[in-house]
Amino acid sequence: MNSVVVRDIESLARYMETLKVKKDELESIYLSLNVETLNQESNWSDPQYEILKEQISSYCMNCKSQLEELDNVINYINSLLSKIRDL
């Protein structure tokens, strides 16, 4: 049988809040990266721009997937905290 031991509930709650803040910061950075790249479309006419745009778009999509995984971690910790507090 598996068991979970949490020695300091408030420390775990602070960790979850830190994850939320950092996830939001990363999401904002990725969005900004994509927007700034798209803003160059009317400024930079070059076949290399199209390649760069695709690379950055792909990178941002991969990052989105990682952010979803981070959301899963945050949700797990939140659920765990709820269960512990209900005891």
Alpha carbon 46 to its chain centroid, in Å, reads 31
How do residues 6-42 score in pLDDT, each as one tens digit?
A: 999 999 999 999 999 999 999 999 999 999 999 999 9
pTM for the predicted model, two decimal places? 0.82
Write the pLDDT tens digit of every residue in 56-82. 999 999 999 999 999 999 999 999 999
Supply the Cα-derived Rg of the chain in whole angstroms. Answer: 19
